[in-house]
Amino acid sequence: MAPASPEFYKSPLRYLKWASYNKPAYFYSIIIGCAGPVFIAVVPPIRRYYGDGPRPKIPFTYPVPRGPRNPPAGYDD
């Protein structure tokens, strides 16, 4: 008796075609997941080529204004 779906190791391209039609959510999520590590190696050189320079550092505190602080007026109860 033949299996219901094509077997991966006998014909991988046929299996991928079958999976893209019959189980598209699994198929495309695996494709996107496998593309992630490739993007880590490919995208930064492309961004540098197109002029993406160093980014400013993220501030960890709120900048305190210089000079005297004026208390707010007109908000008394």
Q: What is the pLDDT of residues 15-74, one digit of tens each?
A: 889 889 999 999 999 999 999 999 999 999 999 999 988 888 998 988 888 888 888 888
Give dist(CA 43, CA 34) in Å, integer.
Answer: 15
Inside any domain, residue 59: no
Inside any domain, residue 65: no
Inside any domain, residue 39: yes
Inside any domain, residue 6: no
Per-residue pLDDT at 25: 95
Domain span holding position 24: 12-49
Inside any domain, residue 66: no
Inside any domain, residue 29: yes
Q: Which pTM does this prediction carry?
A: 0.52
Give dist(CA 73, CA 71) in Å, integer.
Answer: 6
Q: Where does the pLDDT of residue 8 fall: very low under 50, low under 70, confident under 90, or very high at 90 and above?
A: confident
Inside any domain, residue 38: yes
Instruction: Break the chain down into helix, strand, coil percent, rounded to 5.
Output: 50, 0, 50
- The residue assigned the tokens 């000079």 is 67
Inside any domain, residue 70: no
Per-residue pLDDT at 5: 58
DSSP letter assigned to residue 16: H
Give dist(CA 37, CA 48) in Å, integer.
Answer: 18
Per-residue pLDDT at 77: 61
How many structural domains compose the chain?
Answer: 1
